[in-house]
């Protein structure tokens, strides 16, 4: 049961600093992704977000005092196997003091609502390599099924 004082809403590019700060904190916490955190380039992120504003979505959870206690970024993608447009959760983080209180689940619910509005056929997410068992359990509890590992290659 989520605290009724917790509110989820969409954030526009004007709130990008809040989103970037929350995600940077997450990356610092997840050891395995530390190399990505080290490479964070705020100006580059902002420029990319601005150029794709129609298909980049950020959601924030705010606590009783209106501070940001959780954040999610989701992008709209396309694939034939997905019958067209689908959503990809790229970041989802809840402040440590607020975990296990239903905030993550409330963010997922807001993402499903967004997906319904955008007519996405499905939502994909990659669990982080560190702490992945708990994160995987969190998603599986909400109906996500395992879809294989993810690979990456950096472009210089
Ligand atoms: C995974 C995460 C978003 C879940 O948010 P949340 O608000 O704690 O989620 P809920 O309260 O709705 O559900 C809690 C469940 O999530 C799971 N969970 C996963 N990681 C967890 C963590 N680090 N702390 C607490 N619960 C976690 C547990 O199964 C937990 O169930 P429990 O409370 O019965 O133990 C949050 O724990 C988090 O920010 N973790 C670090 C970042 C991360 O791994 N993000 C996901 C990858 S994109």
Q: What is the pLDDT of residues 102-153, one digit of tens each?
A: 999 999 999 999 999 999 999 999 987 766 788 999 999 999 999 888 898 9
> Dihedral, CA atoms, 82, 46, 112, 127, nearest 10 degrees?
70
Give the pLDDT confidence score for residue 1 in this predicted structure: 59
How remote is the CA of residue 5 from the centroid of ligand 1, in Å?
19
- CA distances, 53 to each of 9, 16, 22, 56, 96 (Å): 16, 11, 19, 5, 29
How remote is the CA of residue 83 from the centroid of ligand 1, in Å?
30
Q: Cβ contacts of residue 36 below 8 Å, gap of 6+?
A: 27
Give the pLDDT confidence score for residue 64 in this predicted structure: 93
Cα separation of 153 and 104, whole Å? Answer: 29
Does 52 score more than 70 pLDDT? yes
Does 10 score more than 90 pLDDT? yes
Residue 32: which pLDDT band, with cuts at 50, 70 and 90?
low
Angle CA(140)–CA(148)–CA(106) in degrees, nearest 5?
30
Which atom of ligand 1 is nearest the CA belonging to 126? 48
The tokens for 5 are 């004082």
128, 135 contact by CB (below 8 A): yes
Does 31 score more than 60 pLDDT? no
Answer yes or no: is the C-beta of 107 below 6 A from any ligand 1 atom.
Answer: no
Residue, of 68 and 115, whose pLDDT is higher: 115
Of 71, 43, 41, 40, residue with least CA distance to 58: 71
**7 sits in which H/E element:** strand 7-11
pTM here?
A: 0.91
Residue, of 101 and 4, whose pLDDT is higher: 101
Give the pLDDT confidence score for residue 38 in this predicted structure: 60
């Amino acid at each position: 049961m989520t605290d009724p004082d917790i509110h989820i809403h969409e954030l526009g590019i004007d709130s990008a600093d809040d989103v970037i700060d929350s995600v940077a904190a997450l990356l610092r916490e997840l050891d395995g992704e530390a190399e990505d955190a080290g490479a964070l380039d705020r100006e580059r992120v902002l420029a990319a977000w601005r150029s794709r504003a129609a298909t980049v979505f950020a959601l924030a959870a705010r606590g009783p005092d209106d501070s940001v206690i959780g954040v999610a970024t989701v992008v709209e993608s396309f694939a034939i196997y997905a019958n067209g447009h689908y959503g990809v959760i790229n970041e989802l983080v809840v402040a440590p003091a607020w975990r296990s209180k239903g905030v993550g689940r409330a963010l997922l619910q807001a993402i499903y609502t967004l997906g319904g509005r955008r007519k996405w056929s499905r939502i994909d997410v990659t669990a982080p390599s560190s702490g992945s068992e708990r994160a995987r359990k969190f998603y599986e509890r909400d109906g996500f099924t395992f879809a294989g590992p993810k690979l990456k290659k950096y472009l210089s």
